[in-house]
Amino acid sequence: MIYVILGVAIVLGAVGYGVSLLRGRGRTLERQAPPARPGLPAEDLDRRPPTAGTDTVEAPEAPGAPGAPAEVEQPTAPTAPEPTLERPESARGRLQRLRARLARSNSSIGQGLLALLSRGKLDEQAWEEVEDTLISSDLGVEATMELVDSLRTRVKVDGTTDEATVRAWLREDLLALVQPDMDRRIASSRVGDRPAVILVVGVNGTGKTTTVGKLARVLVAEDREVLLGAADTFRAAAADQLETWGARVGVATVRSDKDNADPAAVAFDAVKAGIDEEVDVVIIDTAGRLHNKVGLMDELGKVKRVIEKQSEIDEVLLVLDATTGQNGLQQAKVFSEAVDVTGIVLTKLDGTAKGGIVVAVQRQLGVPVKLVGLGEGPDDLAPFDPEAFVDAIVM
């Protein structure tokens, strides 16, 4: 029995010793470093992957920069596409393309006159009606008398009131009144080592700033490099409006970042920028002002003098509303005295029968109508073409 007990004890002891050896080997295996991962540098051999439950993940080091975290590439935000610049069509011949609209606006002149002159018998009452029609179209009393006298003589000598013949006479006499030989070119090319300078003036509500934007489009269509000057510093939205017009065709605008800035200073800066950047033409927009406000007209004279300290002004365009009639003529006279107007822009000629203002204003100032506004579209500003204008009236 004793031998049996001793045998069991020896067996249990051997088993316990074997278990202890196995446990010791397991602890030794846990302390050994994991084998190196293929492709990692030697210094990464002591790094272990993070254990489950940890909150931070250590980024691998950038190759060639031991100890520094690798630069993580951030996703790039999509860039907005550059705005597509508008490319206006050439303004040449634009008045002919808009003849239908112009003809509708002047129908009371042409159709009314032709109806009167071709009805067969022309007595004194009929001629008085012809005079009234012409005067109501803002042709002016003097020009009306000239036209009527010429037509009466032609009818008396020829002895006919045939419509085709009368139409030809009317066209010839109206064209003479419109004075097709006047120089209607707009200064738009560099003069020596400086750009041409255009100053745009007018009363409130004539569409002056819009006209400046449309004129920029006309010149861009002729491959001119243009710079705009926002010297209308009284109307808060004027500079923004002008800048928007210019941006559409890639034209920059010089403006002040201050409210109620000195308009003469802005105009001066615009011309200086135009000289420095070697553009072809600088167009200066000015604030609308009533012609009977002496202080405002004096300020306009100051703008002109300040510009002339560094450059001549090649063009002064007066913007007139074609619907204002005789009041527009008075405005034109005062502005011309203040800043030596060289050309007229007639806006709102569409939708009005006041086409005679073209003749009246040219006679009043002795300067030509150079541009006419025929609608609200961005390209509805057209160089004035006397023959197309008269044809639209009588054809």
Q: Binding residue per annotation — 224?
A: no
Q: Binding residue per annotation — 144?
A: no
User: pLDDT by residue (tens digit) across 61-115?
Assistant: 444 444 545 555 555 555 555 567 887 777 676 766 666 666 655 555 677 777 7
Q: Where are the alpha helices (DSSP H) in the chain?
A: 2-31, 94-97, 99-105, 107-117, 124-136, 141-158, 163-178, 208-221, 238-248, 263-277, 294-307, 326-339, 357-365, 386-394
pLDDT band at residue 135 under the 50/70/90 scheme: confident
Give the residue-averaged pLDDT of 360-389: 89
Phi/psi region, residue 254 (left: phi>0; alpha: psi -120 to 50; beta: rest), is beta
Amino acid sitting at position 158? D
Question: Which residues lie across from 226 on neighbouring strands?
Answer: 281
What's the rounded Cα separation, in Å, for the pair 185 and 326? 26
Give the residue-averaged pLDDT of 361-376: 89
Q: Binding residue per annotation — 209?
A: yes
Q: Binding residue per annotation — 288?
A: yes
| CA-based R_g, the chain, Å | 42
CATH hierarchy code of domain 94-178:
1.20.120.140
Q: Binding residue per annotation — 289?
A: yes
Residue whose token pair is 């002339």: 308
Topology agreement, domain 94-178 and domain 196-385:
no
Q: Binding residue per annotation — 233?
A: no
Q: Binding residue per annotation — 51?
A: no
Q: Binding residue per annotation — 206?
A: yes
CA dihedral (262, 268, 274, 276) positive or negative = negative
User: pLDDT by residue (tens digit) across 320-351?
Assistant: 988 887 777 888 888 888 888 999 999 887 65
Give the residue-averaged pLDDT of 369-377: 87
Q: Binding residue per annotation — 205?
A: yes
What's the rounded Cα separation, in Å, for the pair 99 and 395? 10
Please state the domain extents for the chain.
Answer: 94-178, 196-385
Q: Identify the CATH class of 196-385.
A: alpha beta
Global confidence as pTM: 0.75
Strand 369-373 and strand 343-347: the pairing is parallel
Q: Binding residue per annotation — 265?
A: no
Are 123 and 156 a contacting pair, CB within 8 Å? no
Q: Binding residue per annotation — 207?
A: yes
Q: Binding residue per annotation — 349?
A: yes
